Amino acid sequence: MLNIVIIKSMDLNKMKAWQLLKLLRKKEVSSYEITDAVFKRIEERKFINAYISIFKEYALKGAREIDEKYNKGEIQNNHFIAGIPIAIKDNICFKGYPTTCGSRMLEKFIPPYDATVIKKVNFHGGVIIGKTNMDEFAMGSSTETSHFGPTLNPHNPDYIPGGSSGGSAAAVADFQAVLALGSDTGGSIRQPAALCGVVGLKPTYGLVSRYGLVAFASSLDQIGTFARDVKDTALLLNVIAGYDSKDSTSVNIEIPNYLQEIEKGIKNFKVGVPKEYFVEGIDKEVREKVENLIKKLEKEGAIIEETSLPHTEYAIADYYIIAPSEASSNLARYDGVKYGYRSNTPSSDKNLIEMYFNTRCEGFGAEVKRRILIGTYSLSSGYYDAYYLKALKVRTLIKQDFDEAFKKYDCLITPTSPTPAFRLGEKLDDPLKMYLSDIFTISANLAGIPGISIPVGKSSNNLPIGAQLLAAHFQEKKLLQIAYIAEKLVEKEI
């Protein structure tokens, strides 16, 4: 009896998913109690602006249904997150509930179908609590371009949480969700995870279905996870990984249980340290924290060697041709005709071209317009070969650098972001400075490899710092294994 009282007096929303699952299976807590604790936290911390939509009635009803299944013995071990509250980035379609992409253009859009990852979350008993804030159409590195206002960093509200999945990162970091899904096109999971002090995983391109993810740049976009530790990350990857015939880029491979061998150890693992990621200009404290982790990994038995990824210097330029080009094509569908925002100005009623023009001018924010213009220019007649085609060739060279590195190394280690979080508004008027925030994460998207960011400490002004681990295609099991050990080595410093 005393044990139950102690558990109920704890902040359930602050516990890890794997801890909560143990209590749920023993019937020492209920999913309803956990979910209610999360909603109380959301209400207390509204000013963080982590959410665009909250589904309280739906979630509490779902939590009660899960509790009934636990009581009847209907929850099996393969229901990986049964009863756990989970937040969803607002560019992942959820049937019957708003999917805005943080944009005026889709402010009133209600999807008529579920994304594949939503179906998987529901199958595994996850309790969807709301849709998180994001940079408009996932275009940004700070969650400041959202039509619904910026998300704030839970560690210091004067600072940004990173982006574009800043709402999901902030929700998990601030105990407003136990788990969350986001999307990563150029670092949009790993960078906010680093800046908010949580674990963020971008899986291999093709491991997780993109069906139902609103497209930004189709050859780069990937749905991934946010959690407060690596164990929870493995748990959530078990839920969302797998082949989907509805996604033509989905790869049909055998999916292991990512949680099973996570504690195996890393003795004789070969870890490469790319010299291009430790260049002049990186924040001194970021460098120190990542180098500290590298030393600890070496003491743990890993073999550490410096290596080179020579085409890294072209990654930013390459990305900002390929991604806007694909965005220009993908966002052409928002024309005011089929769905989404439509301009009601007098000229729009009289002239079709005016209606297109006004709809897109009024419906899209400045950053989205900027990227559409860059992409349209890169794809235009006379410039396609000089820009887009050349960018694709450079992308191949970047991928080949990683292929060569992974013939020798089990993983690579780098900083996730060159600096800790910056102040709100600091880079909003300088797009080039903002784009450099993703300098260490973009290459993984261009190459299609998996990457994870783990917290490795805090700066002198108490802002989180993250380290990034990268592995070869579909080597998430190995990546999580080394990330788990790395997490344990720096636990006291976080």
Please identify every residue annotated as catalytic. Answer: 89, 164, 188
Give the residue from 159, 96, 82 showing the smallest Cα distance to 131.
96
3-state secondary structure 207-246: CECCCCECCCCCCCCEEEEEECCHHHHHHHHHHHECCCCC
Helix (H, G, I), strand (E, B) or coil at 305: strand
239-244: long-range contacts at Cβ-Cβ below 8 A with a sequence spacing of 24 or more?
Answer: 239/80, 239/81, 239/120, 239/121, 239/124, 239/126, 240/117, 240/120, 240/121, 240/181, 240/208, 240/209, 241/203, 241/207, 241/208, 241/476, 242/120, 242/207, 242/208, 242/209, 243/209, 244/116, 244/209, 244/211
